[in-house]
Structure 1
Amino acid sequence: MNTSGPAAGRGLRLTPFRGLRYVPDRVGSLAAVTSPPYDVVVRPDGLHHLESADPHNIVRLILPQAGTAAERHRQAAATLKKWLAEGVLAPDPEPVLYVYEQRSGDILQRGVIGALALSPASEGIVMPHEDVMADIVEDRADLMRTVAAHLEPLLLSYAGGDDGPDGAAAVIERVAERPPLLDTTTEDGFGHRLWAVPDPGERARIESDLSRRQALIADGHHRWATYLRLQRERSTPGPWDFGLVLLVDTARYPLRVRAIHRLLHRFPVDRALEALAGRFRVRTLDLPLPGALDALAEAASEGNAFLLAGDGRFHLADRPDARLLARTIRADRPAAWRTLDATVLHSTLLDEVWGIPDDPQHIAYIHDTAAVVEQAERHNATAVLMHPVREEVVRHLARQGVTMPRKSTSFGPKPATGLVLRSLGTD
C-alpha cells in the first residue's frame, strides 16, 4: 500500500452527490450541449459556435450573455430553473460517485467525480500551483451564488498507483467494464463515457483510498478559490462545504501539460519588438507555425524564450539580459520559480519592459495556439506564445507552497462541461 502523502483519514474526503444531467430525449445530442471549461472557450467565435450547436448548450449557464455581470448571473439562474422545469436537466435518483472516461487515439484518461469536502485543513491536501485574480473569483462566486450550482468540475490530480483490488484504481477499472450512463463523442474527437457508482462497498473503497492522498489542482484554480470563498460565507454546515471535482490518478493516467498563451490587446508587434531591443535577442523566423514552435522549444531548453506573433511573421525572443532579470525578478523565491518563463513574462516583460497591466482590458489568456495567432493578426495585437512547463516543476513548487503566475499551465485533457452538474439545492 502506498502511504505517501497524508495519513489515512487526513487526506481527500470525496462524497457522493445527486448529479444533474441532461435528459438525452430533450436535447439534440449530448455532444452538442457540452462545452470546454469556461476559461477555455475562445470568445466570441467559440461562444457563438457553442450557442448555435444546441439551444440548451451548457455555455448558456457558464458564460451567459447580458449587459452587466448581475444580469448575466440572473439570466443563468433563470435558464437553469427553466431547463429543470422543462425536464431538459434532471437530478439522478440517489447520491453516487461517477467514473468518467475520456479517450482519443492513444489518449485514455479515467477518474472519479464527486463532491470534495472543503475545510481549512484542505490547505496542504489540495495544492494550488497558480495565483488567481480577485475579480475573476468575485465573478465566479457571484455566478455560483446566484445559480446555486456547481456547473463544471475542477480537475485534480493525485499520485495513486497500484494498491491492489481494494484501491480506487481497481474499482474504477471494474466500473469501466459495465454499460455506461452516457457515451458520446465531441467535435474535438474525444469520446466521453460516464458511469454511476451506486454500490456502497465500491464507494467506500474509493473513499478510503483517497483519504490518504493529497491532490494538485491541475485545472480550476479560480473555481477552487470560489468554493472556499462561498464556504466561508456560510455559518452553518451545508452543501457549500463541498466542491465538484474530477480526481485523476496520474500514476496510471498521466496528464498532458500545455502552455497558455497571452494576447496583448491594442499592443502591436512593432511596439513589442522595439521595447525588446538590447534586452532580449530577437530573431524573425521565416517558418510556419509548427516550425516556429519547434524553434521556441529548442530555445526554451536553454533558457527563457517567447514567440511573438501578430504581423504575419514569428519573432523568437530569448537570451534575456541577466542584469534585467536580476533587477525585475524577486530574489526571495526558489530558483525554479525565478527561472519560469511565466515569471519572466510577468515580472520582466509585462511589468518592466512593456508596462502592460495584467487585467482583462489589456491581456487575454488563450489556450489554442492557432487561435491566439489569428486573433493577434486580426486585431493588430501581439500574441505571446509560451512553451509548456514540465509537470515535475509544477509539483515541486506546489509542495513547497509556492504558486506560479496565473495561467502558467494547462493540464489536460480537461473534463467536458455539461456531462454532470451539482445542484446545491438538491444535494
Structure 2
Amino acid sequence: MSEASAGVLRLEPLRAWRFVAGKVSALGAVTSPPYDVLEPALVRRLTDADLHNMVRLILPRDPGLGPSRYDEPARRLSGWQRDGVVIQDVRPSLYVYEQQYGDAVLCGLVGSLGLDPARRVVLPHEDVMPHWVDDRFELMEATDADLEPILLAYGGGGVASDAVDAARAGEPWLVADTENGAHHQIWRIDDPAVLAAIAQELAGHEALIADGHHRYAAYLERNRREPNRPGTEVGLAMLVDNDRHPLTLDPIHRIVPGLSVDLVSSRTPEGWQVLPGRVEGVPDRIAITDGTSWVTLRSTEGQVTPTVALLHRVLLPAWGVPADEITFHHVLSDAIALAGPQQAAVELVAPRMDQVLQSAARGVILPQKATSFGPKPRVGLLFRTLD
C-alpha cells in the first residue's frame, strides 16, 4: 500500500465469485445471514435447504477441532470452484447491491476496501472479542477467501451515489430471493471512467464500520502477518451512502449472569433513577427483568455517551458483576426467555447515529455488540479470493 493511498478511503474493483444458477437449487437458497446473527434453528434450516449453502463454510461449529475445523470448508470451496458451482467474474467491477426487506432497503457498492490500520478514514466504533477475531481469521486463512462482506456507511455522497442509482436503472446482473422474504439484486459497474470518478470522490470521505468489526480486525491481522502478499491490503466490503440510503440502527440486548432485579434496585449509583416496571418512552433507558418483574433505569444527568457504554463502564462495575460471561441477543424475546432470578435480561435502546459518529470521530470505542446496523448484506451472493 503506497503512502499516497493509505490515508484515503478506497473501494477497489474486484473479480467477484458467485454461484451459478443452474448448479444450485436457487441462488437465494445458498445464501445466509452473517455468522454472528445465526441462531441454531436457522443454521439447521439453511443447511438442509441446499448442499451448497454458505453456512457450510462460515459456521462449522466444532471448537474442539481448533483451527483445523475450517479445513473441510476450505476443501468444500475448492470443490465448488473446480466443479463450476461458483465462477469468477471476467472483469474487475464494483457491484451495486440492493436488498429489499419489508420497508427497509440496503443499497450500496461492494468492492475491495483498502485497510486503514491508523483509523484515519475507516473508523471502527465497537470493541471486539479476541476469540471471534481469531475465528474469522482462521476461516479466511483456511479458505484464502473473504466470504462475508463487512458493512460501512458514509455521508454526503455525490458521484458514487449517482453511479449507484444509474446502475439500478438497468437490468440486474443477478437476482435472488431468500427464505426471509428479502429480494436481492446486483448490478455491475466496470466502465473505467465511472470507476475512476467513484474512486476520486470516495477519496474525500471517511467511512464508519457499521457491521463486521471482527471481520475487519481479521483483515488487519492477515495483512499484519503477510504484508507483502497481494490481496491482503484489502478486504471484502459494502459501502453505503447513509444520507441517500439510510441504514437501520437497532440495539443488541444482553443476558448478564449474576445480575438480579434486587441488585439493580439496591446498588445503582447516583445519576440514575430506578423506576418500577418496564417504562416506555424514556430516552436512553435501560430496562432489566428477571423474567417476572422489571425495573427501568433513567439517567438524571443527561448524556451524550451512548447508554450501552454507560452500562459497561459505570453500571456493571457498580453492581459488581463481571462482563466476561455476558451473552448478546438481537431479539429481545430470546433474551427474556433466558432471564431468571440470578441472570437478568438487559433491554437497551439503540444509540443515535450522531452518538455513534461522534464517538468514532473522537476515537472512542464502544463496548462490543453496541449496535446492530442493517439490513446486513447477505452472505453468498458475492465473495472474493486472494488468488
TM-score (norm 1): 0.82
- Residue 73 and residue 250 in structure 1: after superposition, are their counterparts in 2 closer, same or farther (change >3 A)? same
Q: Which residue of 1 aligns with 2:24?
A: 27
Q: Could you tell me which residue of structure 2 aligns to residue 272 of structure 1?
A: 260
The Cα of 1:347 is off from its aligned counterpart by: 2.7
> Any residues of structure 2 matched to 1:222-241 within 5 Å, and which?
222-241=214-233
2:271 matched to which residue of 1? none
2:297 alignment partner in structure 1: 318
Q: 1:208 aligns with which of 185, 195, 200?
A: 200
Aligned pairs, how many?
Answer: 378
Change (3 A) 1:120 1:347: closer
Change beyond 3 A, Cα 1:199–1:335: same
Q: Which one-letter code corresponds to 1:406 in the other structure?
A: Q
**d(CA) in 1 for partners of 2:160, 2:298:** 46
Q: CA deviation at 1:381?
A: 4.8
Q: State how 1:186-197 maps to structure 2 within 5 Å.
A: 186-197=178-189
Task: Measure how far apart 1:64 and its partner are.
Answer: 1.3
Matched, 1:69 2:66: yes
- Cα gap change, 1:72 to 1:263, in 2 (>3 Å): farther
- Trace 1:72-221 onto structure 2 (pairs within 5 A): 72-120=69-117, 123-161=119-157, 163=158, 167-221=159-213
SS in 2 for 1:240: coil
- Residues 245-291 of structure 1 show CA distances to partners (whole Å, capped at 9, x for unaligned) of 100001101111100111346x5xxx511322323425245xxxxxx
2:55 maps to amino acid: V
Maintained 8 Å contact 2:115/2:122: no
In structure 2, the gaps of 5 or more residues are 269-273
Distance in 1 (alpha carbons) for counterparts of 2:87 and 2:371: 34
Against the structure 1 CA distance between its residues 253 and 81, is the aligned structure 2 distance closer, same or farther, given a 3 Å change threshold?
same
* Partner residue of 2:337 out of 365, 374, 389: 374
Tell me, yes or no, if structure 1 residue 283 matches structure 2 residue 276: yes
Post-superposition CA distance 1:121-142 (Å, at most 9, x none): 5x22001111112221122112
* Cα 1:136–1:352 shift into 2, 3 Å: farther
Query: 2 CA distance for matches of 1:125 and 1:53?
Result: 40
Q: Name the stretch that deviates more: 406-415 or 276-285.
A: 276-285
Match of 1:278, SS? helix
- Which deviations, in whole Å up to 9, do the C-alpha atoms of 1:5-43 show, x marking residues without a partner? xx999521121111111111111112221111111112x
In 2, the alpha carbon distance for the partners of 1:109 and 1:223 equals 20
Distance 1:29 1:380 in 2: 46
Counterpart among 287, 308, 312 of residue 306 in structure 1: 287
What whole-Å deviation, never above 9, does each CA across 1:71-119 have from its counterpart, x for those lacking one?
3221221221122222222211222110001123443332000001224
- AA of the residue aligned to 1:385: E
Find the aligned partners of 1:73 and 1:352 in 2 and give their Cα distance.
41
CA RMSD of aligned residues (A): 2.5
Deviation at 1:63, TM superposition (A): 0.8
- Quick one: which of 323, 326, 334 aligns to 1:363? 326
SS at 2:37's partner residue?
A: coil
**Structure 1 stretches (4+) deviating beyond 3 angstroms?**
7-10, 319-322, 348-352, 374-377, 379-382
Structure 1 residue identity aligned to 2:263 = A
Q: What SS does the aligned partner of 2:36 have?
A: coil
Opposite residue 308 of structure 1, the aligned amino acid is T
CA contact (8 A) 2:285 2:349 kept: no
CA contact (8 A) 2:261 2:293 kept: no
The DSSP-based 3-state class of the residue aligned with 1:253 is coil
Which deviates more, 136-145 or 366-375?
366-375
Per-residue Cα deviation, 1:353-376 (whole angstroms, up to 9, x for no partner): 152342xxx222121223333344
Mapped partners of 1:101, 1:396: distance in 2: 28
Q: List runs of 5+ in structure 1 lacking aligned partners.
A: 1-6, 286-294, 323-333
Aligned mates of 2:362, 2:61 — CA distance in 1: 40
**Counterpart AA for 2:333:** A
Q: What is the Cα deviation at residue 418 of structure 1?
A: 1.0
